[in-house]
Structure 1
Amino acid sequence: MMKKLLYIITAIVILSISEGKAQDPQLSQYYACPLYLAPSFAGSTSGSRVVMNYRNQWPAINVAYQTYAVSFDHYFPAQTSGMGLFFNKDVAGSANLSTTNIGLQYTYNIKLTPQWYMRPALQMQISQRKIDFEKLIFYEQLTFSQILPINSEAETLEKISYMDFTFSLMAFGVNEWAGIVFTHMNKPNESLQGHIAEIPGQFKFFGGKKFSHNKLVNAENERSVTASFLYKSQKKFDQLDIGMYWARKPIVLGFWYRGIPGFKHYAPGFGNHDAVSFMAGYHLPEVKIGYSYDFTVSRLVGRSGGSHEISIIYEFFQNQKAKGRKKVIVPCPKF
């Protein structure tokens, strides 16, 4: 009987997620997945870049989240523009509820002063949400002696595709940066049951400052401390990631806290705090590798198994000149 009850609860959770309550992929190393953070990061190096990311969230729970991401972007100095192409996929639960996104980004580099730049950007993506209903067991299927096959009506609602649009704007100097992002601008319908379930628009605000300790030494021997934050808001829900990075090339260490405790509670007894994250990264001449672990501090502490995240960044063709002079690079961390 308890097993059947578990089946019912799991089905309810998966179906509620499929009706527009799903979260966007959560990444702790958000600067290691720059095109997902904001399309303004497309072409933010001096040449080309390939990025790969993997996240396993709450592995101790049977309906854990897994996120995969791959992106490529390039800077065109003659046009002072950048373009990016990305793919990411989020998979959750025993029924493999997944969201797959493929998108194209364009950004333009505007010089404000000799040391300050602005980058407006647009993103267009095609998304598909899919669920394997055959792996779900519904209430009407349960009997005391057997589990009946799923009805054919549910099988016809296994996936939906839609267009999604994003705008971002970022300003940066030699040691500071800040940006805003508006995602799901067209509020696409993502219902898997033939209803209207619009994805609410999401707002992001991010920024930071780098404090260098050896300004006269080249970047390969950099020693610095960087503070950064990322605020996200979607309908009544919001989240703040705030942390610091310590770099002494080739080693980078990071620490973040995710949550807004004391300011907002979504329900009695549920504080707005999620996790503490620790990161270690290593810089090779063209490749950066990062690993992070999220220690859960919410009510799932001791049950979730935390979260593991791996990032690999490959930068090449980085000797391009921006119209006869060295390009000012966004000073944010690589991870």
Structure 2
Amino acid sequence: MRTVIRAGIMILLLNISFRAAAQQNIQFSQYVFNGLSVNPAYAGYKEDLYVNATYRHQWAGFPGAPRTGGASIDGATGNDKKVGLGMQLLFDRLGPQDALSLYGSYSYRIPLDDEDTRRLCLGIGAGVTQYAIDGTALAYVDNDDEAIPTGKQSVWVPDARFGIYYYTSKFYAGVSVMDLFSLYTDASRYTWKGNNYSTIRKTQHMYLTAGTMFQLNEMLQLKPSILIKEDFKGPTSVDLNAFLLIGEKIWLGGSYRTNAKLWKKGNLPKDLSQLNAASAMVEFYATPTFRIGYSYDLNVNKMAGYQGGSHEMSLGFLFPSKKFTVQNPRYF
């Protein structure tokens, strides 16, 4: 009975989340250190081969809490580094539901000056997502309930993404649209022995990003940035970030995320409460080519008292070429 009650609470919260913010896409807190997760045009930004891995445990201590992870690899090819290539493997699990995605990215990187300090990048991505539900993770009300699958049921759905990314040594800005095919495909509906049921699926999102660097003194640099995420259904999500770079070795900072009504949406209730969250992050360069990151997120709303926050770990490896010379440090 206790398991059934917990499952009911989770379903209720998922319905509330759906009303408040629609079906939100995967987003890591540490996207600020790997822009490929929000924009395919970012592929090849660091030029040399870069591998990143991230694992996120959201709402620690909450039954059926989301667990999300991913690994990516990208780099630039050719003597002029005009082509960036990348690949991502992502998984997202929520109770008995999970999604597994594989994406490839292509970026054409246009130099805008002779010193190669500015580039405009145009990127596209394509991939597939497997949506699944695991019947063995569901609680039975009656023994041998035929409405519950005996194993995992899944379906594969193709997808695409597009982005533009501009950067200099001290500034960047980008726009991207993810999950382009989600408006035309529906992987959320399943049939099992005449019973219909559904799972949460990704929906189309647009991301607007921008950031810059300020030199405070010989040891300190400040990097403020912003991300606006729009799903065209729920409230607009806004991230405000600020980081200090200490001695080119340690990043310390945080992020504040809130929902905002930037324009009128007729499907939103007028009394909709904001979903706010705050993050604290640290990124440490153990070597010039190896980065370790950790972030802790806490909801700043009524849900804060029911879960232990969210933990996220990341690792980054840069494999420099034999001609490895960075005239402009890759701060973004």
TM-score scaled to structure 2, two decimals? 0.83
Contact 1:46-1:327 within 8 A present in 2 as well = no
Matched residues in 2 for 1:263 and 1:317: separation? Answer: 43
Contact 1:112-1:118 within 8 A present in 2 as well = yes
C-alpha RMSD of matched pairs (Å): 3.1
Matched residues in 2 for 1:172 and 1:33: separation? Answer: 14
| 3-state SS, counterpart of residue 29 of structure 2 | coil
Q: Does 1:312 pair with 2:309?
A: no
Cα distance change, pair 296–12 in 1 and its aligned pair in 2 (3 A): closer
Matched residues in 2 for 1:74 and 1:204: separation? Answer: 22
Which of the residues 115, 131, 134 maps onto 2:133? Answer: 131
Contact 1:261-1:273 within 8 A present in 2 as well = no
Cα distance change, pair 301–268 in 1 and its aligned pair in 2 (3 A): farther
Q: Which moved more, 1:169-178 or 1:27-36?
A: 27-36
Letter in 2 for 1:223: L
Matched residues in 2 for 1:189 and 1:255: separation? Answer: 36
The residue aligned with 1:120 is: 122
Once the two structures are TM-superposed, the CA of residue 69 in structure 1 deviates from its matched residue by 0.7
| 3-state SS, counterpart of residue 301 of structure 1 | helix
The residue aligned with 1:190 is: 187
The residue aligned with 2:253 is: 254
Contact 2:135-2:148 within 8 A present in 1 as well = no
Once the two structures are TM-superposed, the CA of residue 236 in structure 1 deviates from its matched residue by 2.2
Counterparts of 1:14-53 in structure 2, within 5 Å, are 22-53=23-54
Letter in 2 for 1:172: Y
Matched residues in 1 for 2:108 and 2:326: separation? Answer: 17
| 3-state SS, counterpart of residue 306 of structure 2 | coil
Cα distance change, pair 276–6 in 1 and its aligned pair in 2 (3 A): closer
Aligned length: 312
| 3-state SS, counterpart of residue 302 of structure 2 | coil
Please identify runs of 4+ aligned residues in structure 1 that moved more than 4 A.
1-18, 152-157, 194-199, 261-270, 325-330
Contact 1:177-1:331 within 8 A present in 2 as well = no
The residue aligned with 2:229 is: 232
Q: Which moved more, 1:70-79 or 1:256-265?
A: 256-265
Cα distance change, pair 67–199 in 1 and its aligned pair in 2 (3 A): closer
The residue aligned with 2:78 is: 77
Contact 2:162-2:177 within 8 A present in 1 as well = yes
Q: Which moved more, 1:119-128 or 1:108-117?
A: 108-117
| 3-state SS, counterpart of residue 242 of structure 1 | strand
The residue aligned with 1:159 is: 154
Contact 2:25-2:205 within 8 A present in 1 as well = no
Letter in 1 for 2:105: Q
Cα distance change, pair 81–297 in 1 and its aligned pair in 2 (3 A): same
Structure 2, unmatched stretches of 5+, are none
Matched residues in 1 for 2:3 and 2:70: separation? Answer: 35
What is the percent sequence identity of the aligned residues?
22
The residue aligned with 2:69 is: 68
